[in-house]
């Protein structure tokens, strides 16, 4: 109620209770505070509010801060004494927005909030992509690899993104070779071809589907070895081919990417660690080139290198985390993801008892609205779990509780 109306109640009101002496009942308002002296002694909040409403106070706009009940004896007309009472209420005006909110809720009526009209969704089926990497061939985790094939057969993704380090190439490393973890270049190339072929076939994808391969630091070992040992052969091509043709010794040719339908992604530069694939607007996939202490921290650090969210491999860790940036008054939420590893989790000879996690990622993308939703596929105790479903390798094969909605 407006304060001007309340001021009308500052006039003295006469209440006769069978005596010839009047009692003064006053209402005083100053700024957002008020006091009301009521002619009845009562601490019953319902009764007090009834009297306050009669004096112009709206409970949606005012709140009682304290009540004081006074009693005393006064002379009666018969020469005796009678008990007198009054209640003093101290009130404070509620913030304006709160009063308006309460009034708005009250105006909704008995039916409660009115639901917003449901807009019919436009025909635009989101896609599901599987993002995985770091097999480190020939040191892949065989159980996880087999489970991943069953997973792909069940969910039937619309595309695949491989995050690099498919082949370990330990014999091409600049580091001292571990005799327990070694393989030939040819073994790596043959194994890599088979993995990419199996991933495509398990997914049921045809040539022309989105199948992107992003170079990792272990693939780079082949290029560096050529430059170091046989620079005359680096970049050599078939006769009379265009500038866009890759070298005959490029991994994309050695592993028959064209035959398989995979794309060896080398934009904006074919020099590691720069290849970067934009899955939807503002979501970039890159292998990664450094490792921080804990899961998720490397991807968060990589956010500074892209104008958006990021998915990366390299760390052999699983994580989905987020970061908020402010530009003036504008808030932007970014997502940082690490895709785990498909390799043996014991360390591959160069890391003892490592903080690695086996698994990979699914990504639901809506390209029209540029939205995405990542979910981890976690490997533990010979089982992968995703959305409450599980795939477990047993002596009789892969056991799963998965049921498709399609």
Given a cut of 60, whether residue 77 has pLDDT beyond it is yes
Q: Which is more confidently placed, 115 or 150?
A: 150
Q: Say which CATH number the domain at 73 has.
A: 3.30.110
Residues 254 and 149 in one domain: yes
State residue 15's pLDDT score.
34
Q: Which is more confidently placed, 299 or 24?
A: 299
Residues 86 and 168 in one domain: no
Domain end position, chosen among 102, 117, 146: 102
Residues 77 and 143 in one domain: no
State residue 4's pLDDT score.
42
Domain end position, chosen among 32, 67, 102: 102
| Tokens coding 105 | 């809720």
- pLDDT-derived band at 2, boundaries 50, 70, 90: very low
Strand partners, 327: 330
Average pLDDT over residues 295-311: 92
Residues 6+ apart with CB under 8 A from 187: 137, 138
Average model confidence (pLDDT) across the chain: 84
Residues 281 and 372 in one domain: yes
Q: How far apart are the first and last CA of the chain?
A: 59
- pLDDT-derived band at 8, boundaries 50, 70, 90: very low
Residues 98 and 153 in one domain: no
* pLDDT tens per residue across span 312-335: 999 999 999 999 999 899 999 999
Q: Residue 375: which H helix or E strand, with range? A: strand 371-380
- Give the separation between CA 321 and CA 319, rounded to whole angstroms: 6
| CA 399 to chain CA centroid, nearest Å | 30
Going from the C-alpha of 395 to that of each of 143, 286, 343, 398, the distances in angstroms are: 12, 37, 22, 8
| Strand, helix or coil for residue 151 | helix
Residues 95 and 199 in one domain: no
Classify residue 93: in a domain, yes or no. Answer: yes
Classify residue 81: in a domain, yes or no. Answer: yes
- Is there a contact between 358 and 340 (Cβ–Cβ < 8 Å)? yes
Residues 147 and 282 in one domain: yes
Domain end position, chosen among 102, 136, 162: 102
Pairing state between β 383-386 and 371-380: antiparallel
Residues 92 and 135 in one domain: no
Residue-number span of the structural domain to which 12 is assigned? 3-102
Nearest to 381 by CA among 149, 144, 153: 144
Residues 75 and 157 in one domain: no
Classify residue 52: in a domain, yes or no. Answer: yes
- Is there a contact between 382 and 360 (Cβ–Cβ < 8 Å)? no
State residue 80's pLDDT score.
76
For residues 350-359, b (16+ Cβ closer than 10 Å) or e, as one string? eeeeeebbbb
Catalogue the E-assigned strands of 143-254. 159-162, 210-214
Output phi, psi for 185, to 5 deg: -60, -40
Give the residue ranges of DSSP H helices in 58-173. Answer: 96-106, 142-155
Classify residue 111: in a domain, yes or no. Answer: no
- pLDDT-derived band at 78, boundaries 50, 70, 90: confident
Q: Which is more confidently placed, 39 or 166?
A: 166
State residue 94's pLDDT score.
83
Residues 204 and 268 in one domain: yes
| Tokens coding 220 | 């780079």
State residue 154's pLDDT score.
97
State residue 170's pLDDT score.
82
Q: Say which CATH number the domain at 241 has.
A: 3.60.21.10
Given a cut of 70, whether residue 193 has pLDDT beyond it is yes
Average pLDDT over residues 90-118: 65
State residue 119's pLDDT score.
67
Average pLDDT over residues 12-25: 39
Residues 97 and 160 in one domain: no
Classify residue 203: in a domain, yes or no. Answer: yes
Total of domains in the chain: 2
Given a cut of 80, whether residue 356 has pLDDT beyond it is yes
Classify residue 156: in a domain, yes or no. Answer: yes
Q: Name the CA radius of gyration of the chain, rounded.
A: 37
Residues 221 and 95 in one domain: no
| Tokens coding 285 | 């996939």
Nearest to 340 by CA among 130, 133, 148, 129: 133
């Amino acid at each position: 109620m407006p304060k001007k109306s309340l001021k009308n109640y500052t006039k003295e009101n006469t209440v006769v209770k069978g005596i010839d002496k009047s009692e003064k009942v006053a209402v005083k308002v100053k700024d957002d505070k008020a006091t009301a002296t009521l002619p009845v002694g009562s601490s019953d909040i319902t009764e007090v509010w009834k009297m306050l409403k009669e004096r112009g106070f709206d409970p949606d706009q005012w709140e009682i801060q304290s009540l004081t009940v006074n009693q005393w004896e006064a002379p009666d007309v018969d020469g005796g004494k009678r008990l007198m009472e009054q209640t003093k209420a101290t009130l404070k005006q509620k913030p304006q927005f709160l009063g308006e909110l309460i009034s708005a809720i009250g105006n909704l009526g008995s039916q409660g909030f009115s639901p917003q009209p449901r807009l019919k969704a436009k025909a635009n089926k989101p896609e599901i992509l599987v993002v995985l990497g770091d097999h480190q061939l020939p040191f892949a985790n065989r159980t996880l690899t087999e489970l991943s094939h069953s997973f792909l057969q069940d969910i039937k993704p619309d595309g695949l993104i491989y995050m690099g380090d498919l082949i370990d190439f330990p014999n091409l490393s600049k580091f001292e070779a571990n005799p327990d973890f070694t393989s030939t270049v040819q073994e790596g190339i043959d194994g890599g071809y088979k993995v990419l072929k199996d991933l495509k076939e398990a997914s049921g994808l045809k040539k022309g589907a989105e199948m992107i391969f992003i170079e990792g630091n272990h693939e780079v070992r082949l290029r560096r070895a050529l430059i170091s040992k046989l620079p005359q052969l680096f970049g050599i091509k078939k006769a009379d081919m265009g500038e866009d043709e890759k070298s005959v010794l490029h991994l994309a040719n050695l592993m028959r990417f064209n035959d398989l339908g995979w794309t060896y992604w080398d934009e904006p530069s074919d020099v590691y660690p720069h290849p970067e694939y934009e899955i939807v607007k503002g979501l970039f996939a890159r292998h990664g080139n450094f490792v921080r202490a804990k899961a998720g921290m490397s991807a968060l650090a990589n956010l500074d290198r892209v104008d958006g969210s990021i998915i990366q491999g390299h760390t052999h860790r699983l994580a989905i985390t987020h970061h908020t940036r402010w530009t003036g008054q504008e808030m932007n939420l970014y997502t940082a993801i690490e895709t785990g590893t498909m390799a043996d989790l014991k360390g591959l000879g160069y890391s003892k008892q490592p903080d690695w996690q086996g698994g990979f990622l699914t990504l639901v993308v809506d390209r029209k609205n540029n939205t995405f939703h990542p979910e981890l596929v976690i490997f533990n105790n010979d089982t992968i779990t995703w959305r409450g479903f599980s795939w477990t390798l047993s002596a009789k094969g892969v056991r799963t509780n998965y049921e498709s909605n399609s």
